[in-house]
């Protein structure tokens, strides 16, 4: 989801605003990527990446859910191939099945936890839209 950055807030300033609500939030630099804020919440991680005029938010599935999605894609691919050939054909499948299963799982997970995601987005929007007061000493 895109969250507009109207005040040209840096990622460090955003982290300072989010630390009060999410104390485990931290900035990390993934390999071949720009610095991102990683926020672990309830067995999953929210990721906030800065772009030019907005912040892009995403999330990382919990490990258990991702493993179930991969196993589900293997079972589904085996069933489809077995139906096509008319006999049992165990198969792991190609990369396309795995990617489709992960995307479908992310979409289902996000729709099931919609309220949690909306609360998180509201927290980030509030942090982005806060400006420093002129009377502030910091």
Query: Which two tokens mark 78?
Result: 């085996």
> How much is the average pLDDT of 43-47?
92
Higher pLDDT, 13 or 133: 13
% of the chain beyond a pLDDT of 70: 93
Q: Which residues have C-beta within 8 Å of that of residue 135, sequence separation ≥ 6?
A: none
pLDDT at residue 6 in the model: 84
Query: Which two tokens mark 133?
Result: 């007061």
Task: Kindly report, residue by residue over 78-137, the tens digit of the pLDDT.
Answer: 888 889 989 988 877 667 778 888 899 999 999 999 999 999 999 999 999 886 554 455
Query: Which two tokens mark 116?
Result: 């949690």
pLDDT at residue 31 in the model: 87
Task: Give yes or no for a contact between 27 and 11, defined as CB atoms under 8 angstroms apart.
Answer: yes
Dist. CA 87–CA 114, nearest whole Å: 41
Dist. CA 126–CA 62, nearest whole Å: 26
pLDDT at residue 93 in the model: 66
pLDDT at residue 5 in the model: 87
- pLDDT of 138 above 70: no
Dist. CA 21–CA 128, nearest whole Å: 13
pLDDT at residue 111 in the model: 96
> How much is the average pLDDT of 28-52?
90
């Amino acid at each position: 989801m895109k969250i507009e950055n109207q005040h040209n807030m840096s990622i460090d300033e955003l982290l300072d605003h989010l630390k009060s609500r999410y104390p485990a939030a931290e900035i990390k630099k993934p390999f071949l990527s720009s610095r991102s804020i990683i926020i672990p919440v309830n067995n999953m991680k929210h990721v906030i990446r800065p772009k030019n005029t907005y912040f892009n938010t995403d999330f990382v599935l919990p490990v258990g859910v991702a493993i179930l999605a991969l196993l589900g894609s293997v079972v589904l691919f085996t069933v489809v191939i077995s139906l096509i050939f008319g006999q049992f054909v165990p198969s792991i499948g190609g990369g396309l099945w795995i990617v489709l299963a992960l995307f479908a799982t992310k979409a289902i997970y996000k729709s099931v936890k919609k309220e949690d995601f909306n609360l998180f987005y509201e927290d980030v929007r509030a942090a982005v839209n806060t400006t420093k007061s002129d009377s502030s000493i910091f």
